Copies of this chain bind each other. A is one copy, B any other.
Amino acid sequence: MKIIIAGAGAMGSRFALMLHQAKNEVILVDGWQEHIDAIRANGLKANFNGEEISEKIPIYHQKEVNKVDFSAELVILFTKVMQLDGMLQAIKPLIGEKTKVLCLLNGIGHEDIIRNYVPLNNVLLGNTMWTAGLEGPGKAKLFGNGSIDLQNLGTAGKSDAQAVIEVLNKAGLNARYSENILSSIYKKACVNGTMNGLCTILDSNMADFGETTVSEQIVKSIVSEFFAVANAQNIELHMDEVLAQIHSCYNRETIGLHHPSMYQDLIINHRLTEIDYINGAIVRKGKEFDIPTPYCSFLTQLVHAKEQLIGAK
């Protein structure tokens, strides 16, 4: 299959390497010149479950990709959320009438952006448990196992997604069709929508936050807003399940001592956060459905204030 990986960061690199090794025709598109130069010079390198690998995979800057002759059958979006719209603009000339577009980004409401470029029948929205890290320009660090759930958001349904699922599975990416992907996405967003913003604003790891006497009240207030917005869209969520998943983040023996990704982005690396696509998305959808979302609103504002105070870019 002819595949564009749009966004060649950590996760994009994982998918590119695994799909390339499974004999697909893969190209990468990215906006980070140093990364592009390194991959052109040395191939895309990775520590892949302890083994050092390197694969020659074509990579283009998103500014130049409009000149590339490549009729993509599948685009997998792995940009930063804030760069999604710009990437779609850049690769639009390579997206044909039948090109499927798979979005596995964290957060809520990306389909509202993607549908401006691609008919909903060609959009596959998904959720992945794969992880990945980047050691530096051109070099990924890929450990462990994962899976993908995805769903066609249009009327095309499961049959139309089957070819993509097969390609992903031949590459070992463990994909399966879901009939309620928005539930999975909202469930994950409830975890990110509490742990990310709260640990960032409070300068705390997840376990320490979880042990404060106020964590449960705060978490329930935020999650209730996610539930109200999900409910208005007939997306089914179960409070017990969501709270259990949040509580599992407090476990000191597993992930509790970690800071969530937003903390790393903002507090460690002084990068802008994805808060607008997590809690901020709930505020936007809340306005649409006339649902008050003050906790998500305040948390979004606090994170934006912190971005500006830190001078994040």
Contact = CB atoms under 8 A, between A and B. Distances in A.
Interface in A217-247: 217-218, 221
Complex copy number for this chain: 2
Contacts of A214: 301-302, 304-305, 308
A98 to B, nearest CB: 43
A306 interface: yes
State the main secondary structure of chain A at its contact with B.
helix
Interface in A270-302: 292, 294-295, 297-299, 301-302
A218 B308 contact: no
A159 interface: no
Nearest to A205: B309
Contacts of A306: 202
Contacts of A301: 214, 217-218
A278 to B, nearest CB: 16
A18 to B, nearest CB: 40
B298 A212 contact: no
A268 to B, nearest CB: 15
Contact of A295 (B201, B202, B294, B309): B294
A208 B294 contact: no
Contact of A294 (B204, B211, B294): B294
Given A221-B298, A294-B298, A304 B201 contact: no
A204 B309 contact: yes
Interface string A185-224: 0000000000000100111100011011111011001000
A217 to B, nearest CB: 6
A306 B294 CA distance: 20
B221 A304 contact: no
Contact of A308 (B213, B294, B304, B309): B213
Most buried by B among A204, A221, A297, A298: A298
A221 B299 CA distance: 13
22 contacts: A198-B305, A201-B201, A201-B202, A202-B309, A203-B203, A208-B309, A209-B305, A209-B309, A211-B308, A212-B305, A212-B308, A213-B304, A214-B301, A214-B304, A214-B308, A218-B302, A218-B305, A221-B297, A221-B298, A292-B294, A294-B294, A298-B299
Nearest 7 interchain pairs by C-beta: A294-B294, A214-B301, A212-B305, A212-B308, A214-B304, A218-B301, A214-B305
Interface of A: 198, 201-204, 208-209, 211-215, 217-218, 221, 292, 294-295, 297-299, 301-302, 304-306, 308-309
